[in-house]
Amino acid sequence: MTRKSAHILFELFFWLALIVILSGSFISLSRDVLQQRQLDICISTLAEDLQMLRMKSVSTHQNLKAVFYPTQNYYVLETEENGLDCPGKYIKRTFPTNIGYPYYFGIAMPAYVDEYGNICSGSVEFGYSGSPLLPRTVTFKYTGTPSAGGHIILTSFPDLRSSVVIVKVATGRIRVGRVSFFSMDS
């Protein structure tokens, strides 16, 4: 083997090793990016659904509900007043298996710190202090105001990234917040 061919062979192995290392880190990075994107899509869809429900309650002059099931990983929206038990009068949305309410993944006391420094807990909270495993309901009155203010936390699993949809009681404003998720299980 000549000296020149040994040099070319060394360069070839060097570039091959570099490509393998970079592609390995890219695959790992892309998985994280895809999971974050999926969480963003789910949280945006949830916020848009709540906003749609709010606007529909105003335009149809009806009180419409959204019911959240923290242990079953889905929520239901009425499309007509008292329509939760009538086929065709509600919309059911189920989250993907790796995105959902923290209770669905076995996190008993999820919490976050809001922009005012208050600690907020629970997967889904709308002015209800009973068992966190029971369904939670928010009703948008025909004026567009919610029956109670609250939040819905969505978490990606297993990396536990979280986002929250916040509904303000006085104005009915619905917004998405990025939260520092932590578990109060101790």
What pLDDT, on the 0 to 100 scale, is given for residue 25?
Answer: 66
* CA 183 to each of CA 114, 123, 175: distance values in angstroms, whole numbers, following the listed order: 15, 11, 23
Q: What is the model's pLDDT at position 10? A: 77
What is the DSSP secondary structure assignment for residue 109, as one 8-state letter? S
Cβ partners under 8 Å of residue 165, min gap 6: 43, 46, 47, 50, 151, 152, 154, 174, 175, 176, 177
Within a 13 Å sphere around the CA of 156, how many CA atoms are in the beta-carbon half?
Answer: 19
Look at residue 120 in the predicted model and tell me its pLDDT. Answer: 77
- Please name the residue ranges forming H helices in the chain: 3-60
Strand partners, 140: 64, 146
Q: Residue 92 has which token pair?
A: 């059911």
Q: Tell me the pLDDT of the chain (186 aa) as tens digits.
A: 566 676 777 788 888 888 888 777 666 667 778 888 899 999 999 999 999 999 999 999 999 999 999 888 999 998 888 777 777 788 899 999 989 888 888 777 777 777 677 777 778 888 766 777 788 899 999 998 998 888 888 888 887 788 888 888 888 889 888 666 555 554
> Could you give the dihedral angle defined by the CA atoms of residues 45, 47, 52 and 54, in that order, rounded to the nearest 10 degrees?
160
Please state the domain extents for the chain. 3-183
Question: Candidates 3.55.40.10, 3.40.50.720, 3.60.10.10, 3.40.47.10; correct CATH number of 3-183?
Answer: 3.55.40.10
State the pLDDT at residue 43.
Answer: 93
d(Cα 182, Cα 151) in Å, to the nearest integer?
A: 15
pLDDT number for residue 186: 47
